[in-house]
Amino acid sequence: MRAVVIAATGVAVVAASGGIWAASRGEPARGAGKAPVAVTAVPVRRGDIVSRVPLSGTLGYDGTVSVVNQLAPGVVTAAPAAGSVIGRGSRLFAVAGTDAVLLYGHVPAYRPFTWGMTAGADVLELERNLDALGYAPGTVDRHFSAATAAAVRRWQKARGLPPAARTGELALGEVVFLRGPVRVSHVDTGAGASAGPGTRMLSGTSTVKVVRVSVTADRRAQLHAGDPVQITMVGSDGVVQGRVRTLGKVATAPEAPQGAPPGPATVTVTITLVRPPRALADLDQVPVQVAIESARRRGVLTVPVTALLARPGGGYQVAVRDGAARRLVPVTPGLFDDATGTVEVTGVGEGMRVEVPVS
């Protein structure tokens, strides 16, 4: 797997039995003069080791959308509740008793749907939605045909419109094309207010959960879409798996007090959740801890971080036990895995037994 290096150093710290051991590039390990502690021996193992960089992020909903009214001017007779989720075929709002209904599509509804209208992508979107709702419009294409009008009439009847309103046609504003279901975050124009074409009715998001983190711009090039991520809610032990989806292209610098130098510029990294648990369904703007995989080694030799001892003059060594015999062997650390408390090493053999403090 490609290595993605986000941090220049890795640090793991373990405290036990009155002594402190630190493993890092440049920090001493098991300082001299500490009181002796009980030790045991564990084997050098071969396996994978992963280095991850912890970051703070926010769990929320993906995307933002603003819905405006295109119906004829009038009094708002229905408005959604903040926090509600609106899906295909459901009412977004109503003006003067006429519903604006959500349908899925990428091209905004910009004209009425009537018999004899020119072909277009908006007609294709309408027919796809009619078909998905169970009102087959015949051939699903870019043409508003007699079959399309008949499907619209059946849909209008199912929605409870009076016979006179079952025209098989749709006025501008009766349908609103959005990319998918909408979670209403704010109602801009409520029931009883007046609304005309262009009035903003509500703001919302998609129903897709994402995590956003800020990464300094100089590290952006070291990240790639698809990088594995572990996500932990603050105060929770549960881990949710995710993947980097997008990397921001515009860096922003935080505001600094007058006369102070600005902080480092950052870009936003968006992370999708692989299998969002139900417990997260209703949560928004929740702080989380994110661990982005920075590097991975496969099939390497590893020992617990606490096995590392400082060598006189610099570097590291481990105490190898062979029965009652004990010898110090120089080793070179590689990746540190904070999640497992292990470190990649060279200089020892698989199966050798090395000393570690008794926890």
Of 252 and 16, the structure prediction assigns the larger pLDDT to 252
How does residue 235 score in pLDDT terms, banded at 50, 70 and 90? low
pLDDT at 246: 92
pLDDT at 288: 92
Q: In the predicted model, is pLDDT for residue 156 greater than 90? A: yes
pLDDT at 35: 56
Q: Of the ranges 47-51, 82-86, 123-127, 181-185, which one carries the lowest mean pLDDT score?
A: 47-51
Task: For the chain, give the mean pLDDT.
Answer: 87
pLDDT over 70 percentage in the chain? 89
Tokens describing residue 308 = 């590392």
Q: In the predicted model, is pLDDT for residue 16 greater than 60? A: no
How does residue 269 score in pLDDT terms, banded at 50, 70 and 90? very high
Which pLDDT tens digit goes with each residue over 337-353?
A: 887 899 999 999 999 99
Which pLDDT tens digit goes with each residue over 308-321?
A: 999 999 999 999 99
pLDDT at 34: 55
Q: In the predicted model, is pLDDT for residue 217 greater than 50? A: yes
Task: Give the range with max mean pLDDT: 2-11, 65-74, 291-300.
Answer: 65-74
Domain ranges for the chain = 12-54+295-357, 56-61+208-294
Of 46 and 219, the structure prediction assigns the larger pLDDT to 46
What superfamily does domain 56-61+208-294 belong to in CATH?
Efflux pump adaptor protein, beta barrel domain (2.40.30.170)
pLDDT at 262: 75
Q: In the predicted model, is pLDDT for residue 122 greater than 80? A: yes
Task: Give the range with max mean pLDDT: 50-54, 179-183, 280-284.
Answer: 179-183
Q: Find the mean pLDDT for residues 133-139.
A: 95
**How many angstroms separate the CA atoms of 82 and 79, rounded?**
9
pLDDT at 273: 93
| HSE (side-chain half, CA atoms, 13 Å) at 358 | 5
Residues 77-86 as b/e (b if ≥16 CB within 10 A, e otherwise) read: eebbeeeeeb
pLDDT at 147: 97
Of 261 and 99, the structure prediction assigns the larger pLDDT to 99
pLDDT at 64: 92
How does residue 160 score in pLDDT terms, banded at 50, 70 and 90? very high
Question: Which CATH number is 12-54+295-357 given?
Answer: 2.40.420
3-state secondary structure the chain: CCCCCCCCCCCEEEEECCEEEEECCCCCCCCCCCCCCCEEEEECEEEEEEEEEEEEEEEEECCCEEEECCCCCEEEEECCCCCCEECCCCEEEEECCEEEEEEECCCCCCCCECCCCCCCHHHHHHHHHHHHCCCCCCCCCCCCCHHHHHHHHHHHHHCCCCHHHCCCCECCCCEEEECCCEEEEEECCCCCCEECCCCEEEEEECCCEEEEEEEEHHHHHHCCCCCEEEEEECCCCCEEEEEEEEECCCCECCCCCCCCCCCCCEEEEEEEECCCCHHHCCCCCEEEEEEEEEEEEEEEEEEEHHHCEECCCCCEEEEEEECCEEEEEEEEEEEEECCCCEEEEECCCCCCEEEEECC
**How many angstroms separate the CA atoms of 31 and 17, rounded?**
14
Sequence-distant contacts of 118-127: CB under 8 A, at least 24 apart: 119/143, 119/144, 122/177, 123/148, 125/177, 126/170, 126/175, 127/151
Which pLDDT tens digit goes with each residue over 321-331?
A: 998 899 999 99
pLDDT at 224: 83
Tokens describing residue 98 = 């006429």
Q: Find the mean pLDDT for residues 273-301.
A: 85
